[in-house]
Amino acid sequence: MFRNLKAMSVATTGLLVMSLAALSIGVQSGGVAAAAAKSSFVIGVPLPMTGAEAASGAEIFKAEELAASQVNAAGGILGHKVTLIEEDSACDPTTAVNAANLLVTKHVNAIVGEYCSGDALPEEPIFSRAGLPVIFAAANSPALLTFGYKDIFLALNSAAEDSATAVAFFKQDLKQTSIAVVDDQSAFGVAIADSMQTDLKTNGMTLAGGSIQAVPNTLVDFSSVIAAIKSSGATGIFWTGYYAQAALFVKQLAAAGVTAPFIGDSAAFDPTFITGAGAAANGTYVTSAVAPSGAALRRFTAQYRKKFHSAPGPYSAYGYDGVKLMVLAARQAKSIKASKIIAELHKTNYVGITGRFTFAPDGDRTGVAEEILTVTNGAYVKNSVQPKL
């Protein structure tokens, strides 16, 4: 989602101003950061740390911290300590551009981060011009793969499958064919909504009301949207946007007596959605990459809980794997030179805690299936029936 940050200013005078200016110049020109880079493998981490999606950003960053601490405890990488530099992208494209430029000026060696695709899109050309290897931890709009960048990789497979999974579930399992599609005007939401419109037509289904309903991502009163859904005769609702706003929408749908089944896309998958929607969340559905499982994930979860005294989020493991994969690529390249790491990432065949990593030529992660989750008794569970794609 796109969020605006309030500008903050601090008035200072005299030597303090001069000292801060000198430090700023040193960092921007490579002084402090370049010195750190000589002894460290520096990974830049752009993530939303403020705004509605800040919880997800914090959960991913903590997982990356865990991964970096484990690498360093084992001796680092090629004699270098792994260091993370975080910049707040706020799920806002303007802020994200600033974050990306700051990371480049701080001479990072690689990028592992980003939750919101609307942030990742304007960051891509900045990182690519700098020649940096980039693993987006959770941002996965199909639009990210359309520009031909050879240094961009998705830890989470492209969300292009979100709409196909939802259409198949509506048609095969829910037996609903007139679907209202609502996006939040984010880059991610628009891409999935457009894909949904195409998939509905391909499957002989109807876009209720004849057009996608695009709402500002700051909208808190959905009464006009709900009225339009009711008048359209929609028998199903597909939300393509993020979880905080989805929770408000679902609560208001329930209050208005709308009983049409609700499916959210993968950006709506977060425990915060359940907390925000309360009882109205029960019986809703969401598309998701098949959840990782197994001993490695259980070990990661236990380590995360021990270190941070909280549970990881649904995308934390992808950030963890992203750091481990970037380090592995450097080891295999026997170099921290960006071009050599990029070449190794294209050859990746690595099993992380979220499963096997292999990448298509465009950087999309391959072989990750999707599934439908439902909220039952205030928790996500795999739905008993899954669509056949």
Structural domains for the chain: 14-159+294-357 (3.40.50.2300), 160-290+370-382 (3.40.50.2300)
Confidence (pLDDT) at 389: 80
pLDDT tens track for 140-166: 999 999 999 999 999 999 988 999 999
Q: What's the mean per-residue pLDDT of the chain?
A: 90
Q: Is 352 helix (H, G, I), strand (E, B) or coil?
A: strand
Assigned token pair, 183: 């996006």
Q: H or E stretch including 297?
A: helix 295-308
From residue 252, give the alpha-carbon distance in Å to each of 199, 223, 285, 376: 27, 8, 16, 19
pLDDT of residue 293: 86
CA angle 331, 333, 336 (to 5 degrees): 75
Give the mean model confidence (pLDDT) for residues 16-26: 33
| 17: pLDDT strictly greater than 70 | no
Per-residue pLDDT reduced to its tens digit, 309-365: 999 999 999 999 999 999 999 999 999 999 999 999 999 999 999 999 999 999 999
pLDDT at 134 (0 to 100): 98
CA atoms within 13 A on the CB side of 369: 8
Q: Quickly list H helices, 29-134.
A: 31-39, 54-73, 93-105, 117-129
Q: What is the pLDDT of residue 24?
A: 35
At 239-251, the pLDDT tens digits run 999 999 999 999 9
- The predicted pLDDT at position 39 comes to 84
Q: What pLDDT score does 38 carry?
A: 53
Sheet containing strand 40-47, strands side by side: 81-88, 40-47, 110-113, 134-136, 152-154
* Distance of alpha carbon 295 from alpha carbon 309, whole angstroms: 20
Cα separation, 130 vs 156, in Å, equals 23
Binned at pLDDT 50, 70 and 90, residue 272 comes out as very high
**In this structure, what are the phi and psi dihedrals at residue 111, rounded to the nearest 5 degrees?**
-125, 130
pLDDT value at residue 21 = 35
Percentage of the chain with pLDDT > 70?
90
Q: Is residue 229 packed enough to be buried (19+ CB in 10 Å), middle (13-18) or exposed (0-12)?
A: buried
CA of residue 82 relative to chain centroid, distance = 23
Q: What is the pLDDT of residue 139?
A: 96
Task: For CA atoms 342, 346, 352, 354, give the dihedral sign.
Answer: positive
Residue 256: pLDDT above 60?
A: yes
Number of Cβ within a 10 Å radius of residue 55? 19
Over range 222-245, report the average pLDDT. 97
Q: Terminal CA-to-CA distance of the chain, rounded, Å? A: 29
Q: 155-209: per-residue pLDDT in tens?
A: 999 988 999 999 999 999 999 999 999 999 998 999 999 999 999 999 999 999 9
For residue range 295-304, what is the model confidence (pLDDT) as tens digits? 999 999 999 9
Q: What angle do CA 318, 359, 361 make, to 5 degrees?
A: 140
